[in-house]
Amino acid sequence: MDGLFLVYSSAALMRFYAADGWIHAMSGTYRVGFSSTNITPPLDLGIRVGGYLRLHKVSERVLDFLFARAMCFRHPDDPAQGLIVMSVDLVGFQYRIARLVRRAISRRTGVPVSRIILHFTHSHSSPDTIGIFPNRLANLLTFDVQYDVIRYIMRHMIRAGVNAFEDATAAMVGYGTTASPEPFLAVQRRPPYSHITDPVRFLKVTDPDGNLTGIVVNYQAHPTQLPGNNANVHPEYPGMVAKALHARYPNLQFAAYFNGAAGDVTIHGYKGYYAARYHHHATHEDAMAYALKVVDDLGKRFADLVAEAIDDVAVEPVASVDVQRRFVFPRIGRVKSVWGRLKHYPRLKDKARILLREFRDMLRVGLFHDFYRFLNGRYLPMLNIVTNGRRTYHQTELFVARINDVYWFSSPGEPFITYQENLFKHVPSQKHFFSQMNETCGYIYPWNFYVQGGYEKFFSFDALFGRYMYELFKETLNRMS
């Protein structure tokens, strides 16, 4: 009789645990950890802000703090099967320095470098951690990052990654999307100038009792709401999204924003400084105050959209995490052969124009890379240069992670949105994230944009990088699916 009672009690207990999601946790599901670490460098380091050229300007004020926000999916037994993702309020980061941060986190946690994904939100009011925005004429041709500033930021990024690993606890995760924003939130800033009507994507994290503990938001748009003449520190709208979510949910442990493929996408409106300064003739100080309010309102709008949808999102334990890393080797100066394209231009005048344009772009690439090397005795620090014979490549990485049935793409650089849209069509579960800029290597656009030309063309170096990257993403996704 006692044996029968024990069998019955165990079965009832198992049903109870299964109903509450605990049976999965007991059998070895992933724990989830968070960490938000203030990375704002001290002003006495003479911070040079990136995103625009701001000659003879250094930061005098911190308008709002910058953070590294890390989330860890920690395997219960084997750290090598974990995943750490981190969103950092910076304009970008050099690959070689990002790799040092990932190695340091890996040594302290056991999570492999190949399963640590960094993301930089691209705030244009953060320190120049790319090294291409000098603020003095004297270093216009010898530019690089400010290493005192970089060292300070690196220490705090490493701390965020390690703390997220160490603080991991039992958790449930769900994927959701908001309603399509009305009016639309973003627009392509290059042809075809389409309105972006995508919903905002997000991950909802709760404890096993269903209490909300974390929100991770994913959308795509350039964080350029503050003016180019602002030299003071601010995270722009990605930081304001996190701040607004914490304000809406006072007990929330973690909120972060990951910026998607935003190479040709900008927020529609929300240019508070220009509206106040040039339409209402406000002073610079009043226009800046209004701009800060507007970008704060933008963060609240994201938070409102998420809040309207989050209660309907079901959560489940994290039973599986898979990560595939692929090395990518875009080539400096690569384009389609001009001789194969000349046949499409029947008139001699058009052929001459194309040849002259190709010669100009060849000079541009040469000046931007080879001339820098000639002057400084090294390659441009922004790129991670490797050579193969006479060819020069930038070695970088892309990732595809799967958390349960949510697929997360991580790219280098600033891809145009067409790559994100087309990749999402191939995701079997239709649950997807895309985060650009796991390091900084310029714009990534389709070939037709190269032919058409534009501002982004100057800040790139491989006109076929987009096709190369997209095919590698698709191949990796097919492997995992």
Q: Cβ(313)–Cβ(175) under 8 Å?
A: yes
Q: Cβ(411)–Cβ(434) under 8 Å?
A: yes
Q: What is the pLDDT of residues 76-98, one digit of tens each?
A: 999 999 999 999 999 999 999 99
* Residue position matching structure tokens 């300064």: 277
Instruction: Look at strands 432-435 and 414-415 and give their pairing.
Output: unpaired
Q: What is the pLDDT of residues 272-330, one digit of tens each?
A: 998 899 888 999 999 999 999 999 999 999 999 999 999 999 999 999 999 999 999 99
Question: Rounded to the nearest 5 degrees, what angle is found at the Cα of 104, between the Cα atoms of 101 and 105?
Answer: 85
Question: Rounded to the nearest 5 degrees, what angle is found at the Cα of 258, between the Cα atoms of 272 and 61?
Answer: 45
Q: Can you tell me the distance from the alpha carbon of 375 to that of 384, in angstroms, rounded to the nearest whole number?
A: 18
Q: Can you tell me the distance from the alpha carbon of 183 to that of 177, in angstroms, rounded to the nearest whole number?
A: 17
Q: In the 8-state DSSP scheme, what is residue 143?
A: -
Q: What is the pLDDT of residues 301-313, one digit of tens each?
A: 999 999 999 999 9
User: Which pLDDT band, with edges at 50, 70 and 90, does 166 fall under?
Assistant: very high
- The whole-number average pLDDT for the span 96-107 is 98
Q: Can you tell me the distance from the alpha carbon of 462 to that of 328, in angstroms, rounded to the nearest whole number?
A: 12
Q: Report the pLDDT value the prediction gives residue 140, as an integer from 0 to 100.
A: 77
Rg (alpha carbons) of the chain, rounded to whole number: 24
Q: Report the pLDDT value the prediction gives residue 21, as an integer from 0 to 100.
A: 41
Q: What is the pLDDT of residues 17-60, one digit of tens each?
A: 334 444 444 357 999 999 999 999 999 999 999 999 888 889 99
Q: Report the pLDDT value the prediction gives residue 267, as an integer from 0 to 100.
A: 96
Q: Report the pLDDT value the prediction gives residue 439, as an integer from 0 to 100.
A: 95
Tell me the H-state helices in 20-146.
22-26, 95-109
CB proximity list for 237: less than 8 A, separation 6 or greater: 221, 223, 225, 257, 267, 270, 295, 298, 299, 302
Residue type, 15: R
Helix (H, G, I), strand (E, B) or coil at 281: coil
Q: What is the pLDDT of residues 412-470, one digit of tens each?
A: 999 999 999 999 999 999 999 999 999 999 999 999 888 887 888 888 889 999 999 99
* Residue position matching structure tokens 């080879």: 370
Helix (H, G, I), strand (E, B) or coil at 426: coil
